[in-house]
Amino acid sequence: MLHEQILHRCFRCGYCKMPSNYTDLNCPPYLAFRFETYSPGGRMWLLKAWLEGKIQPGRRFAEIMFSCTACGNCTEHCPFPDFKNLLLEAFTAGREAFLDGGTAPAGVKDYLTRMQLHGNPYGLPAKKRADWAAGSDTESYSGQEYLFFAGDAGSYDTRGQEMARSAAGLLAKAGISFGVLKMGENSDGNDVRASGETALFEELAGKNTELFNRNNVKKIITLSPHSLNTFKKDYPGLGGNYQVFHYTQVLALNMGRLKFKENQEPVLVTCHDSCYLGRHNRDYFSPRMILSTVPGIKIAEMDRNRQNSLCCGGGGGNLYTDILPSGEESPARHRIREAKKTGAKIIAVSCPLCAIMLEDAVKSEGVADILRVMEISEIINDRLV
């Protein structure tokens, strides 16, 4: 197994379970399950025990491995330099070994099968990928400055499609030159890679790269921070070299082009940092920069914000595999309870997966009448002239 030489180095000190201000637990599977086994240290020690033949892979072990959302809290807070940077890679390698051995939860197998057969986690036809743009003024990509990439949730999930239309619409209002590829795109593969299915990831990435290169794409705006992450970090190694931006990063620099209604009713907004825009790509600034320029909006931070943000629980394929429980201990429900404590009326998100997870949690918590999940561009669109 790749990185097996580092497994014994984990001391299980537990810094990885918490944010840097120690306000609460911050590792999604550990928060949800609470057994030490579901903590990053537990995972490291179990993998080592497995390689030494002390424990056999089984249903529980697979659940422990695949419940990791790859949120990066462990990488952020582990006190050991260098070693910490390999934590997620080691877990990915562990999952890859489990997949190779045929020991993966049924939900993961189904998810990966849908990805393989359809190029998306919903099992829907590829030709429907650009349906989100139907009826809008969004242009087909034909050499504009940017390609707008809606990603899986933005293309197929009803809520994600609303976000894609909203973000694309706002980019157009800001005068950004972009188009969308109406045929041929596949999943960005970010979460497939995190789940350890490297070959499938390379296949998906290869198809996208070939498509982008054929269309002479140079710059990409992504709706999902997951797409941003893999386009920036993984695609260059596979022949896909692009300038990649999350839509909030482009908007943050073009807010001056938007005209807001006057005398807006003041509203308190709390900002939920997406793991792949935040911890993985170090941008905590763009969403806040955008919100701070909108008249009437005041930001109330949650205890766990920026590098301490609590993951919604949807990463690493968990949105589609449902390994993390959806009950009271689910990370998304913890997050909503935390957001509610700020007194905010809106929880601002910049990732379709976060929006889907948190909206479900708002309903489960019974707070839909006082707290609304809104994607950043939706908040802005509501307040434009």
Partner 1 sequence: MKDFIRQLAGITGQEFVSAEPEERYIYSMDQGTMPPALPDAVVMPGSTQEVQQIMRLANRHKVPVVPMGGGLVLSGLTRALNGGIILDMKRMNRIIKVNPVSRHAVVEGGASEGMLQAYLKKHHPELKHSMPDAPPIATLAGNICIHGSGHLSVPGGFHSDMLTGMEVVLPTGDIVRTGSCSVSQDWFARAPLPDLSGLFLGWSGTTGIITKLGIKLFPSYAHNDLLVFVCEDADLMPDVISRLTGTQVAEDMTPWMTPKPEWARGFLHINISYGAHTKKELTFKRNLLQASVKKYSDRKIAGFLPMPPPQKSRFLKVPSADLVTFADIRKGGGFEYVGAIMSIEHFAEAYRAGLNIAKTHNVSYSMGARIIGAGHAMMFFYAYAFNRADQEDVKRAQHALEATNTAALEIGGIPWKAELPAQKQIIDKMDPGTFNLMNRIRSLMDPNHIMNPGNWEK
Residues in touch with partner 1 (CB under 8 A) = 8-15, 17-18, 21-24, 33-37, 42, 45-46, 49, 54-56, 58, 60-61, 64, 79-80, 83, 303, 325
Residue whose CB is less far from partner 1, 61 or 141: 61
The helix (run of H) or strand (run of E) holding residue 161 is helix 158-173
Beta carbon of residue 224, minimum distance to partner 1 (angstroms, whole number): 31
Residues 78/87, Cβ–Cβ less than 8 Å: yes
What is the CB-side half-sphere exposure of residue 263 using CA atoms within 13 A? Answer: 0
Residues 329/31, Cβ–Cβ less than 8 Å: yes
Beta carbon of residue 56, minimum distance to partner 1 (angstroms, whole number): 7
Closest CA to 153 of 312, 6, 382: 312
Residue whose CB is less far from partner 1, 163 or 310: 310
Q: Coil, strand or helix: which one is 61?
A: helix
Residue whose CB is less far from partner 1, 24 or 131: 24
Cα separations (Å) of 290 from 148, 279, 284, 344?
19, 19, 11, 17
In the structure encoding, which two tokens stand for residue 18, read together?
């918490």
Residue whose CB is less far from partner 1, 18 or 180: 18
Residues 54/66, Cβ–Cβ less than 8 Å: no
Beta carbon of residue 358, minimum distance to partner 1 (angstroms, whole number): 22
In the structure encoding, which two tokens stand for residue 76, read together?
């952020």
Dihedral Cα 89, 244, 274, 20, nearest 10 deg = 60
Beta carbon of residue 148, minimum distance to partner 1 (angstroms, whole number): 41
- Which region, left, alpha or beta, applies to residue 273 given φ > 0 means left and ψ of -120 to 50 means alpha? beta
Beta carbon of residue 320, minimum distance to partner 1 (angstroms, whole number): 22
Beta carbon of residue 108, minimum distance to partner 1 (angstroms, whole number): 17
- Which region, left, alpha or beta, applies to residue 222 given φ > 0 means left and ψ of -120 to 50 means alpha? beta
Give the distance from CA 153 to its chain's centroid: 10
Residue whose CB is less far from partner 1, 139 or 303: 303
Residue whose CB is less far from partner 1, 61 or 132: 61
Residue whose CB is less far from partner 1, 118 or 304: 304
Beta carbon of residue 24, minimum distance to partner 1 (angstroms, whole number): 7
Beta carbon of residue 255, minimum distance to partner 1 (angstroms, whole number): 32
Residues 203/220, Cβ–Cβ less than 8 Å: no
Give the span between the Cα atoms of 89 and 150, in whole angstroms: 26
Give the span between the Cα atoms of 89 and 302, in whole angstroms: 29
Residue whose CB is less far from partner 1, 46 or 319: 46
Give the span between the Cα atoms of 241 and 133, in whole angstroms: 26
Residues 251/170, Cβ–Cβ less than 8 Å: yes
Residue whose CB is less far from partner 1, 35 or 145: 35
Residue whose CB is less far from partner 1, 23 or 293: 23
What single string gives the DSSP state of each residue in 100-159?
HTT---HHHHHHHHHHHHHSSTT---GGGTTGGGTTS-PPBPSS-SEEEE-HHHHHHSHH
